[in-house]
Amino acid sequence: MNPNDIAVLGVGMHPWGKWGRNFAEYGLHAARAALADAGVAWSQIDFVVGGETVRNGYAGYVAGSTFAQALGWNGARVATAYAACATGAQALEVARTRILAGLSEVALVVGADTTPKGFLAPNAGERWDDPDWLRFRLFGATNPAYFAFYARRRMDLYGATVEDFARVKVKNAAHGLTNPNARYRSSVTIEDVLASPVVCDPLHLLDICATSDGAAAVVVASAEFAKRMGADHPVRVSGLSTVTPTFPNTVLDMPNIATDAANAVSAPELTFKASIGRAAYEEAGVDPADVSVAEVYDLSTALELDWMEDLRLCGPGEAEQLLRDGETTIGGRIPINPSGGLACFGEAVPAQALAQVCELTWQLRGQAEGRQVEGARVGITANQGLFGHGSSVILTR
């Protein structure tokens, strides 16, 4: 292991769906699964990080201690993280930092959520400095409206078509058919997607992920602890990026409703989303060409195509052709979302970045039954949260 790598000893999930129960129950299920997978006793865990959900009352705001209490107080240190859709990766970064500092040996990271039906909306109250609240208040832009902006941009810049967006859904639905944790496990056709209701032109209902309940958990440890546990060649977290945007932001990015002027200060070399992946690559010491498999943030079908380019898995405007040629499916050059992605899982905000880590861990171990990418050795994730939160995790073996 490289000096800045940490070992992934165990991973676990609660299946995604609409269960209508307290988020802590899902997190407890995932945590116990991860501990069992790691072969680590709860009493050995010395640090717990919980990804919080802001829709579940006070308990959601103290997620770290909520999960520690549910497992049975063991005296571990505790922390809580929130970064919207990047929450799970930020929680993992907190655990990694403490391990690399020598302050902890083995940590449990948990994210879980119970979501409302329909669109995610800001919490109640007037917050005139909150861009997420403002976009709803000023012009009623739900998330699908922003997804449609991105889709329309791809159509204008690169000639993407609604059939291309539908192909992403068809591919991911096929990938998720045998995933036991996925909520939606049924085949769809391009015709099915295009026949579903238009939510925000050019996107149809089947182009957009649902909101879901779910949970994921990861047990990570220092190299020394992993060796003592007999894990000589574990999956490793080799890079983790949580960079923020660089002023000026000249590309519209959710939830902002305007860009910055670049008259006095030139635009940065990379857009915000592109900078997320670059930071992870630099930290891990790997190149995009080394990546075997990717789990990216497909809140809409068009966003998956954007992330392929932002992670430099292909050049600008090349994603559609790779998709059409079958290169992004399992067996292709660079499989994208072999888990089925959010298209099959739905959005459980604090859990989804950790779920990606779980999926890539199974891929790199060769345990992704029914969806295995053969010979996978390097995997990358991508998520974007509101307010300048973004994340990318690189796993290696």
Residue 334 lies in a domain: no
CB of 111 within 8 A of CB of 71?
no
Query: 38 lies in which domain range?
Result: 6-118+212-228
DSSP per residue over 260-305, as a string?
A: PP-SSSPPPSS-HHHHHHHHHHHHHT--GGG--EEE---SBHHHHH
Find the CATH number of the domain harbouring 58.
3.40.47.10
pLDDT of residue 80: 95
Residue ranges of the chain with pLDDT lower than 70? 56-59
Domain total in the chain = 1
CB of 209 within 8 A of CB of 185?
no
Residue 17 lies in a domain: yes
pLDDT of residue 3: 84
pLDDT of residue 50: 97
Residue 32 lies in a domain: yes
pLDDT of residue 117: 81
Residue 305 lies in a domain: no
Burial group, residue 130, by CB count within 10 angstroms (0-12, 13-18, 19+): middle
Residue 1 lies in a domain: no
- Rounded CA gap, 124 and 153, in Å? 32
DSSP per residue over 210-265, as a string?
A: PB-EEEEEEEEE-HHHHHHTT-SS-EEEEEEE-----SS--S--TT-SSPPP-SSS
Residue 104 lies in a domain: yes
Residue 106 lies in a domain: yes
pLDDT of residue 215: 97
- Rounded CA gap, 201 and 382, in Å? 25
Query: pLDDT tens for residues 293-306?
Result: 999 999 999 999 99
Query: pLDDT tens for residues 283-293?
Result: 999 999 999 99
